[in-house]
Chain A
Amino acid sequence: MLLEIKDLAVEVEGKLVLKDIDLSIKEGETHVLLGPNGAGKSTLFLTILGFPNYKVLNGSIIFKGEDITNLSTTERVKRGIGVSFQNPPAIRGVSVQNLLKFESGQDVEKPLNNRMVDLSEKLKFNNEFLNRDVNLGFSGGEVKRSEILQLLAQMPEFIMFDEPDSGVDIENVELLAGQLNDLLDKDKKPAKRKKGGLLITHLGYILNFVHADKAHILMDGEIACSGDPNEILEDVRKEGFKGCVECAKCS
């Protein structure tokens, strides 16, 4: 198992947001996390990532067989966890380029290596953009592409994408999806895939381009139902989240 979450309860700023989460993701699998606004999806991501404000009251997070529940974010990232954020902060004076160099283990004094230059071009970033302060004044689509570019620099083994497609136009969703597939080893045969992923999407549009193995609906801090992504998405579209969960209960 790549990632295993057991009986997880999480409090944020004194508020119980996640109540009792169980979730397991194998190597080579990509799961989708669905749920209404405020359900706790981003909270789950940031808890897996180990942000200090997300207090684990109960349960554990196991990554590659190791209990990482009490590790710092830095240590978790060093073990191979990566994330693209829904709303990352802007940092003045820290250029995209310098971050990329750090993330891909390059010397800051040297020019960006060819691999990263090629990837930047693929994601439609020119040199001027790479010199900009990270996330400062970026458009919605630029934020998402820059997040993916940083993940490509890091090449984590387990990747969480928080709404990589929201606010992105159709053409760019395809572009992003291509890179997501690379990050998730999708071009390899299923048996050879090592990477795992967890993806939050509201509209599910990106699932037309990125294959997911399983979907979960998070409601009121709990995983209300899990199953085949296409079926679940279909139900949600028809019945809404509530309806979908209801019907999961009766079946």
Chain B
Amino acid sequence: MLNVRNVVRDAEKAKDKKAAIGQDITIENFTKEDKSAHELIDEIGDVSKKTKGDLLKVGIDAEENERSGSFLQFDQSNVFSSSSSDSVELMNLESAIDKYSWVKDYLWQVVKPDADKYTARTALREQEEDVKSGYFVRSLPGTKEIFPIQTCMFIADENVMQTAHNIIIAEENSELHLITGCATGDDVASALHVGVSEFYLKPGAKITFTMVHNWAEQVEVRPRTGVKLYDDSTYINNYILTSPVKSIQSYPTAFCDGKNSRAVFQSIQSGQKDSIIDVGSRALLNGKGSAAEVISRAVSNDESQIFSRGHLAGLVPDVKGHLECHGLVLADDSRIYAVPELEASAANLEMSHEAAVGKIDEEEIYYLTSRGLSEEEATSMIVRGFLSMDITGLPDELANETQRMIDLSLDGM
């Protein structure tokens, strides 16, 4: 196990280490903000009307309808956190570390502090500068809360570097649903977001994590996510990005160590303007009978570039993996680069992939115009159809809600 000293030591060494993929960002160009720069709020409904609207677009309901709790981080400040559920604990990470001596054992275990400079800087802020931002969510053993916890990372000030370290634990045989939205305020043109998230699924646990991004056009985004799965646990990740961003690079990784553990990653990306989107999902199948599925749909508009990655590694016999990566290139100046990787280092496993990238079939457009749609309406219907996918594993209410979130974000396209 990493102790604090080792975290600092490793992070120190890696603080200028470029990420393995994605454009390099000069972190020094962004401003660090204090963790108390924004005042705490008493009620999530106290945020401005404008902010409420911004939050709603990424699935965060200030009315907290059908939510079991809410967490809000503005820049570096944890301004609100409250859970109404008996089954789920929600607080900022700092409070959790104070409350439970064992929380530190979950820090930097599935995301390494020296992975790259983004994780390193986040670790240094936390350990050296004592700026602990981010949330802690824990579902208690044997509980099942059907309403999701909503968490939001909001960038309110121009040019800040926002870091967050989130710890999510689903105790044995519990079920936990999270919706997380990331957004930027109106006055923000450029900023850097680094979010480190570590998930732990104890035996028999299930987590669904649905993330909607809506950044400003000049925001750089570097989430770093690791997921540890114990026996018979299930992790479902839904990711939706349909608005412009300067660049985003993320490659969440699930460690399916437990037997019969299962990870599902579904993502919908629509590249707008000159966004550079580099999103992948990785699962390392290490547990007997473990399985993973990666499904992505990407459309590129304008001059956007999308790198759609997937990596499944079967490391022991009797595991199963499927990777599916479909892309639609909508503009001549845009680009989709699908990179599906399968790796098998044991016999008797089942791994497959399916990748298809192309333009919209004109026949489909003509067919719809012959039903009275204009070419634009036809294109939009085809694109929406292409991006819609069955969202499995969510309770009905949440599935409908997620579909509404997808629709809402597609409306803005």
Interface residues of A (CB under 8 A from B): 49, 51-52, 72-74, 77-78, 82-83, 85, 88-89, 91-94, 98-99, 102-103, 133, 150, 154
The segment from B80-88, B168-176, B377-385 that touches chain A is B377-385
Partner of B386, one of A77, A89, A93, A150: A93
| Interface-located stretch among B22-30, B155-163, B258-266, B361-369 | B361-369
Residues of chain A lying within 8 A (CB to CB) of residue B385: 91-94, 133
Q: Pick the residue among A51, A74, A85 that contacts B372 (CB under 8 A).
A: A74
Q: Name the CB-closest residue of B to A85.
A: B367
Interfacial chain B residues near A133, Cβ < 8 Å: 385
A154 with B364: in contact, given A93-B384, A93-B386, A94-B382 (CB under 8 Å)? no
**Residues in B whose Cβ lies below 8 Å from that of A88:** 367
Q: List 11 A-B contacts (CB under 8 A).
A: A51-B366, A72-B369, A73-B366, A73-B369, A74-B369, A74-B374, A77-B369, A89-B361, A93-B387, A94-B385, A102-B381
Q: Which residue of A lies closest to B389 (CB)?
A: A93
In Å, the complex CA distance between A91 and B380 comes to 12
Extra contacts besides A74-B372, A91-B385 (13): CB < 8 Å: A72-B369, A77-B369, A77-B370, A85-B367, A85-B370, A88-B367, A89-B363, A91-B367, A93-B387, A94-B368, A94-B381, A102-B373, A103-B371
Residues of A within 8 A of B389 (CB): 93
Q: In the complex, A72→B364 CA distance in Å?
A: 16
Residue of A72, A93, A102 near B371 (CB, 8 A) is A102
Q: Write the chain B residue with the least CB distance to A77.
A: B372
B386 touches A103 (CB 8 A): no
Indicate if the CB atoms of A92 and B386 lie closer than 8 Å.
yes
Is the beta-carbon distance between B384 and A154 smaller than 8 angstroms? no
Of B371, B384, B389, which is in contact with the most chain A CB atoms at under 10 Å from its CB?
B371
Are A91 and B368 within 8 A (Cβ)? yes
Taking CB atoms, residues of chain A closer than 8 Å to B388 are: 93
Q: How far is the CA of A49 from the CA of B361 in the complex (A)?
A: 19
Nearest first, the 4 closest Cβ-Cβ pairs linking A and B are A93-B385, A94-B385, A73-B369, A77-B372
**Beta-carbon contact of A154 and B369 below 8 Å:** no
Q: A89-B361, A89-B364 are in contact. Are A83 and B386 (CB under 8 A)?
A: no
Q: State the CA gap A77–B370 with chains docked (Å).
A: 6
A154 touches which one: B363, B367, B372, B375 (CB < 8 A)? B372
B364 to chain A, nearest CB (A): 5
- A105's nearest neighbour on chain B, judged by CB, is B372
Query: In the assembled complex, how far is the CB of residue A6 from the closest CB belonging to chain B, in whole angstroms?
Result: 23
| A49-B372 Cα distance, complex, nearest whole Å | 11
- Give the Cβ gap from A234 to chain B, nearest Cβ, in Å: 34
In the bound complex, what is the Cα–Cα distance between A92 and B382 (angstroms)?
A: 7
Which chain B positions have C-beta within 8 A of A103? 371-372
Contact between B381 and A77 (Cβ–Cβ < 8 Å)?
no
> How far apart are A85's CB and chain B's nearest CB, in angstroms?
7
Nearest-neighbour CB distance to chain B for A72, whole angstroms, equals: 7
Selected contact of A150 from candidates B366, B369, B371, B387, CB within 8 Å: B371
Q: Are B371 and A78 in contact (CB under 8 A)?
A: no
Assembled-state Cα–Cα distance A85/B382 (Å): 19
- A77 and B364: CB pair below 8 A? no
Which chain B residues border A85 with CB–CB below 8 Å?
A: 367, 370
- Give the Cβ gap from A94 to chain B, nearest Cβ, in Å: 4
Q: A-facing mask of B47-89, CB < 8 A → 1, else 0?
A: 0000000000000000000000000000000000000000000
Are the CB atoms of A74 and B387 closer together than 8 Å?
no
B364→A78 contact, CB < 8 A:
no
Residues in A whose Cβ lies below 8 Å from that of B374: 74
How would residues 352 to 367 of chain B score, 1 for a CB under 8 Å from any chain A CB and 0 otherwise?
A: 0000000001011011
B322 to chain A, nearest CB (A): 18
Closest to B375 in A: A74
Q: Which residue of B lies closest to A93 (CB)?
A: B385
**Which residues in A have their C-beta under 8 angstroms from that of B384?**
93-94
How close is A183's CB to chain B, nearest CB, in angstroms?
Answer: 15
A83→B386 CA distance, assembly (Å): 25
Given known pairs A51-B366, A52-B366, A73-B366, the reply for A91 and B371 (CB within 8 Å) is no
